[in-house]
Structure 1
């Protein structure tokens, strides 16, 4: 195994090499549906080969490499190989349409692009061929187009496509690795530093407008880096962490083009040696199947994803008793869903982990709540480990969960500062805050605090509580109404599976409250009964003027409720009702 003396600390090549040396045969990542499973040594070997191929076709430090595909091992290899030579990975939303992909390419100008064959009813190579042909026909300056578009999957016969011109197969790209020797690769790896750009993430959150955020390796780790783990106690703690973690496997539901998804695969590099199980795309039944077949012990996803899984009509068909913990990330966790998970008789959970952050700010707050402490050596060790690990903001006691109408954010991470401004907006300052690819000065205060766009409050023990998005605050006749308060009240009503509240235009009051409700199966709800039951808990002006029932809520590609899509559906339905009134 090659020496890391020339690799800078806390860089991807150094971290991959370290895992390959310490845990060569342990599984790092796997995609069961593709039959793909990589050990740490296999991952390091294949990453080196792909990095050589990148160098062989002229990719240099600082160049961008775009990736457009559903989840599979080649996407992880592409991101890690790019990082090893100092190139910047640009994973694109796998749901992206032609106009969106064209705009991403114009903004980032990647020198190389890796594309899957098909996903979400989109044939990616054909989409890219159209973009190239249209640009060439229009006589545009082609400098924004990738010089090479590598199609992943055609070699295995998954799909047929004419790879000519700018297009080539994955195996053709890999043939270029022979032009680069190990010394040349190691020299490129040695030039990489943890402050260098690592990945450019495009995130739309719930607003629907893409934003590019450039993040470094350092922004994913603690303020002092891994050097803080040196010394006898630090090394023993890291050793103990890895030995315990080897017994666990994590099902990561989040896509790799999302901060939460990329952070999840980064955890097994930076924190502990976990087996990471992933899906090509999120589907509640496929997720339940993976937990049972792979005997996953930890589930990582958004609250909306977990709620969909638990509410699935097919849920009873699956054995989920292997699960010991659930990590909620990318969206605030409300008490109602927490209670549902806690009281679920089909789960044997030991802990729930909460996380709050964003693509721009990174992980801001985390926390762990122990829901049960079962007897046994493994449970005891896990409890001790998670109670004192420095990468967690801290433990959350049951008494701290009574937050009224606020959701859980967690306790502030080390090196993260938070303050609440006069509007109640959460302002953040830390080494993890990254700037946009296209600068947006309005997102920062004059003295450098990042405006999160969320409102909340900071409680005792640095416990961060999230109220919701500021742009979702409803202004009804001068009264400011927080949708989260009404949503929590709705979720407590019998027969309500999920709820989403928004403001809709009103000529008299400016805005009126509209509640969208997903009823439980076989529940018989009406707008009249819902209003009657809410009147016991809410002031009259907070009672929804409009109530719409839906079979489910549209989900964004990042696993959150798609607020912009719900608003569109609501306005269309209200317009139709007005026409037929």
Structure 2
């Protein structure tokens, strides 16, 4: 084990080595489906071995390493090993198809790929072979395609194109400890750490290159913490080391990777993860691993709560929920609170581009837990949590509360058309400036999201109050323009969700030759309810202006989710435009 004092603080090798030294036998990461339970010492030893293998391959600081596989401990090991040698981690969406994968590889130009054999209904070795065949057939430039590809789970099936993951591990034996230490010593927190790709709702996914420093509380706090802070962190570790947290988010997503970083840097906590999200598997993991906290999108957790098999699982260990990566409205919150007996829940706001922006904690009034409250006060003192929000604030609002803005983050609300800064409580586009904001690796001027003075225009709509509490009201690109009138889908959704027979609602605009766009309401009816477009039209009429009333209704059994746990806008639009579901034109 190397001396952590020789490493730069707030880098992956420093933090990993410190965890392994302080808590060698505490379980850090668990994948119950694969029966993998890795202690900090096991993680550190595997990371050192794989990092030496990357050195043997010739991977150097600034190179990128693509990692694509369903959730497994080997994915975490590969990510941390890449970071130790100064390489950029490029975790890819496991639902990626051939065209998307080729785009990612051309954009990131990796030195090596570490992949699982099976993605989500995808066999990646086959896709890689197809890409290689196409390159040879077309005779195009191939210098962006990596020389080294290693495949997990297909031992004994290697060919001239791919090598088994076990061979990659063996390469490290030829590299001495000093070479590894030298590579680790070259790490600083301002270095690029991870390349995350956005969901690509407006076209091909764009890459956001994030540094280690962008995950820290503040740039000026980089390095080894002061004695008082270090003592507080040790005290919090004594509490949190007994917690198991189920992270539902994939590691190629900012929220998913952020949980890894939090357990590494902020608090020693056992992180339980799934190979991929499935509500039944998630319910089973909570029960089996006795998880105390759930981290996921509101839609993921709603699917767990509303599952027909929910009552088959004992969730008494669960104390709280941390909502992330998508806004939670009062309707979804009420369903979750009814289905789970919680002490607290947390809300947050952020993005791949902006990093963490705001958060808030709500203790449910009907239950008190002094230990949890003391832990909250401790984490609040460490500036890890931004403040309390009363439950009544969620009940009275129809929009989604994002929490209180972080101390190290600036937020202002802009008029989307003029760019003018708006006063408190005025709705507009959310703009963010901080050390956590990262630019796209490539961005055309006509879609520039960064201003000259460093403000990131998020495309999210919302408002601030005098307390710096941020409320999210929608997305700029989701605004429907019908005959020149601007219509908020969220406003219509909120009215629909109050209907006694509506379980869920999502409103989109669809092309129309006369008006430009028409309003289309996608509906999931409550079990046993009989709904029709005429009934909904009549029931909505008293609450919405005529031009806001949906022209079309689509009835679906469930809303499709994206791999990151959000409602898939692209898939819903495809269902509507291709006539799948029950599309009814208003009379």
How do 1:236-315 residues align onto structure 2 when only pairs under 5 Å count? 236-315=231-310
Per the alignment, residue 127 of structure 1 pairs with 127
Match of 2:87 in 1: 87
Instruction: Please point out which of 452, 456, 478 is paired with 1:450.
Output: 456
- 1:522 aligned to 2:517? no
Matched, 1:209 2:204: yes
Q: CA deviation at 1:405?
A: 3.4
Match of 2:383 among 390, 394, 399: 390
Between 394-403 and 481-490, report the one with greater CA deviation.
394-403
Summarize the Cα distance change of 1:283–1:45 in structure 2 as closer, same or farther, 3 Å threshold.
same
CA offsets 1:477-512 (integer angstroms, 9 cap, x no match) = 332211111112212222222110011223443322
In the alignment of these two chains, the number of paired residues is 573
User: In 2, distance between residues paired with 1:405 and 1:267?
Assistant: 31
* Contact map agreement 2:115 2:151 (CA 8 A) in 1: yes
Residues of 2 paired with 1:461 and 1:257: CA distance? 33
* Partner in structure 2 of residue 429 of structure 1: 433
Relative to structure 1, the CA distance from residue 367 to residue 66 in structure 2 (aligned partners, 3 Å threshold; closer, same or farther) is same
Alignment of 1:393-408 (within 5 A): 393-401=386-394, 404-408=397-401
SS at the partner of 1:43?
A: helix
Cα 1:526–1:18 shift into 2, 3 Å: same
Q: Note if 1:465 corresponds to 2:471.
A: yes
After superposition, the CA RMSD in angstroms is 2.1
Which digits, 9 at most, give the CA deviation of each residue in 1:74-120, with x for residues without a partner?
Answer: 11111100000100011111011111111211111111000101121
Structure 1: runs of 5 or more not aligned: none
Once structures 1 and 2 are overlaid, which stretch shifts more, 196-205 or 521-530?
Answer: 521-530
Per-residue deviation at 1:567?
Answer: 1.2
1:142 counterpart SS class:
coil
| Counterpart selection for 1:567 from 544, 569, 573 | 573
Counterpart CA distance in 2 for 1:231 and 1:61 is 29
Partner SS state of residue 251, structure 1: strand
Aligned to 1:416: 409
Query: CA offsets, 1:210-242, max 9 Å, x none?
Result: 111100000011114655884443223211211
* CA deviation map 1:423-482 (0-9, x unaligned): 211111110001111134411123221110111111121111111110111122332211
Tell me which residue corresponds to 2:163. 168
1:438 to 432, 442, 451: 442
Q: Cα distance 1:195–1:251, how it changes in 2: closer, same or farther (>3 A)?
A: same
Aligned to 2:489: 483
Q: Which residue of 1 aligns with 2:78?
A: 78
Alpha carbons of 1:378 and 1:13: their partners in 2 closer, same or farther (altered >3 Å)?
Answer: same
Consecutive aligned runs of 4 or more in structure 1 exceeding 6 Å deviation: 574-579
Q: CA deviation at 1:46?
A: 0.5
Give the whole-Å Cα distance in 1 for the aligned partners of 2:116 and 2:179.
29
Distance in 1, matches of 2:344 and 2:555, equals: 33
Q: Deviations over 1:239-259 (max 9, x none)?
A: 121111112111111111111
Q: 2:159 aligns to what SS in structure 1?
A: coil
Is 1:369 paired with 2:362? Answer: yes
Pairing partner for 1:355 from 348, 358, 362: 348
- Alpha-carbon deviation of 1:528? 2.2
CA contact (8 A) 1:300 1:328 kept: yes
TM-score by length of 2: 0.93
Judged with a 3 Å threshold, the aligned counterparts in structure 2 of structure 1 residues 186 and 193 are, in CA distance, closer, same or farther, namely same
Shift in CA distance, 431/199, structure 1 to aligned 2, threshold 3 Å: same
SS of the equivalent of 2:467 reads: helix
* Structure 1 partner of 2:425: none
What is the aligned partner in structure 2 of residue 200 from structure 1? 195
Q: Which runs of 5+ in 2 are unaligned?
A: 417-427
Q: Separation in 2 of the partners of 1:229 and 1:243?
A: 20
* 1:119 partner SS: coil
> How far apart, in 2, do the equivalents of 1:301 and 1:194 lie?
27
**Could you tell me which residue of structure 2 aligns to residue 492 of structure 1?**
498
